[in-house]
Amino acid sequence: MQQLFEFSHASQEIALFRDEALAVDVVLVDGVELSRVTSSPGLGGEHRFNLPAVGLVNLRWQIAQDGASVSYGLAQQEVVLHRAVRPLIAPLEMADATMPEPAQVASTQPKRASWIPLVGAIFKLSKSAGAIKVALAGASFASWSLLTDWRFAAILIAIIVFHEYGHVRAMRACGIPTKGLYLIPFFGGVAIGDQARSYWHEVYVSMMGPVFGLLMTVVALLGYWLIDSQLLGLVASYSALINLFNLLPIYPLDGGHVLKAVAVSASPKRSVIGLLLFSAAGFAAAVHFNLHLLSFFLVLGVVDLLLTRSSLVNSEVTPMRGYAMLVSLLWYLVVVASFVGIILYLVEQGVPGSEIPKLILTD
């Protein structure tokens, strides 16, 4: 499959490929196929597909008569999003379909080595976001397998992916451009997207990760009740613990995002001082109880606050009103209480291994 051209839009790599053997043109976005149509006998083509974080778009392209350049335009409901003219990545191979006769090309053009397109395809794949995600997922599975067991590593990654997928879905629902979720070896996962336009959106995006985690926890708990599966009981227990950890009111965890959004909405000028005092108190408590991981997150949160304090005070993000702040706090407390209740319930049921989350929770 031969690449004709590529460009970037909304932080996404869009590339057009032609498969001469199958007579099809294929559009890949970040390495993922989104459109496949039969190759046009002329010098152009058209694709319609759903571009993540943008919606339904139309890609039209036209190759110049000399076969050396291509003009293309990406539009949404007749509104042009991106337009350019650039050289074809492989102009000589396109020229053979339009200018000289096939026999002339065979006699005048040197035969290219068959491994060159393969090397190019591998190189392109290595640069795509999809390949990076797969590599990080494999490294994460390997790292957790080394620390624990491959079965527990698979459970842990499923919990993390479901949690981060909740963030991604929330970003898309709020119209926030997102690059998807990434697993981080020995750490967890992260959903990457642009900044929210309002603090309510920030609360919504931050809470939907734990909410999706609560959904997975409840499903595992129902499975434990219905078929008396100790494994599902353990999944519910550790899912509750991991999501509860993310709800700690420590920046940059989800709970810290909720706390920051409420504090800045209540009083932008005093929010930084209040958050720093809260972080200092939390750091002292974490050191006293030898909670080194929480101490690490608190330090990260303080550094971030110091670097972004001016942007918080002068933020152009729309603040929440009193009603939205109250809803945010109640939502936060209900989800936290749900996770704590599930952990304590499973301990009372005597599920093997569920005592570990309780020990961590009460440490």
Residue 327, amino acid: V
Instruction: Note whether residue 239 is domain-resident.
Output: yes
Bridging pattern class, strands 24-29 and 188-193: unpaired
The answer to whether position 171 is within a domain reads: no
126 band by pLDDT with thresholds 50, 70 and 90: very low
Say how far apart CA 196 and CA 317 lie, in whole Å.
7
Pick the closest to residue 161 from 101, 203, 209 (CA basis): 209
- Same domain, residue pair 358 and 225: yes
83 compared with 302, residue with greater pLDDT: 83
One domain, residues 79 and 223: no
89-119 pLDDT, tens digit each: 665 444 343 433 433 333 333 343 443 444 4
Which residue blocks in 228-291 are alpha helix, DSSP H? 230-246, 254-266, 268-288
Determine which of 58-72, 168-182, 187-201, 296-310 has the lowest per-residue pLDDT on average: 296-310
Q: What is the pLDDT of residue 268?
A: 67
- For residue 151, being part of any structural domain is answered with no
* For helices 254-266 and 268-288, angle between their N-to-C axes, nearest 10 degrees: 150
User: What contacts 24+ positions apart, CB below 8 Å, involve 8-14?
Assistant: 9/51, 9/54, 9/74, 9/81, 9/82, 10/51, 10/53, 10/54, 10/177, 11/177, 11/179, 12/51, 12/52, 12/53, 12/179, 13/127, 13/128, 13/129, 14/51, 14/59, 14/74
> Angle between the 254-266 and 199-227 helix axes, to the nearest 10 degrees?
140
Q: C-alpha distances in angstroms, 34 versus 26, 31, 50, 335?
A: 8, 9, 7, 37
Residue 186 has pLDDT above 80, yes or no: no
Q: Say if residue 116 is in the same domain as residue 206.
A: no
**Domain shared by 204 and 326, yes or no:** yes
Which CATH number is 21's domain given? 2.40.128.180
Does 117 lie in the same domain as 222?
A: no
Q: Is residue 260 part of a domain?
A: yes
Pick the last residue of a domain from 127, 152, 181.
127
Among residues 75, 100, 127, which one ends one of the domains?
127
- The tens digit of pLDDT for each residue in 10-29 reads 888 888 888 776 677 888 88
Contacts of 239 (CB under 8 A, 6+ apart): 159, 213, 216, 217, 220
Cβ-contact 99, 63 below 8 angstroms:
no
Identify the domain boundary among 83, 107, 127: 127
pLDDT at residue 285 in the model: 77
The whole-number pLDDT of residue 209 equals 93
Tell the burial category of 314 from Cβ atoms under 10 Å away from its Cβ (0-12, 13-18, 19+). exposed
In a domain, 186, yes or no: no
DSSP line for 171-224: HHHTT--EEEEEEETTTEEEEEEPPPSBHHHHHHHHHHHHHHHHHHHHHHHHHH
Number of domains in the chain: 2
Q: Are residues 331 and 211 in the same domain?
A: yes
Residues 328 and 206 grouped into a single domain = yes
pLDDT, tens digit (0-9, with 9 covering 90-100), for 231-248: 888 888 888 988 988 888
How many Cβ atoms are within 10 Å of 344's Cβ, its own excluded? 16
- Structural domain contains residue 94: yes
| Residue 165 predicted with pLDDT over 80 | yes
Is 110 in the same domain as 199?
no
pLDDT at 217: 92
Residues 90 and 204 in one domain: no
Are residues 22 and 104 located together in one domain of the fold? yes
Contacts of 308 (CB under 8 A, 6+ apart): none
Looking at per-residue confidence, does 102 or 259 come out higher?
259
- Residue 153 inside a domain? The answer is no
Residues 354 and 272 both lie in one domain: yes
Band of the pLDDT at 362, cuts 50, 70, 90? Answer: low
Domain that holds residue 82: 2-127
Is there a single domain that holds both residue 7 and residue 123? yes
Evaluate whether residue 48 is within a structural domain.
yes
pLDDT at position 212 over 90? yes
- Output phi, psi for 339, to 5 deg: -65, -45
Query: Residues 62-89: pLDDT tens digits?
Result: 887 777 788 888 888 777 888 888 887 6
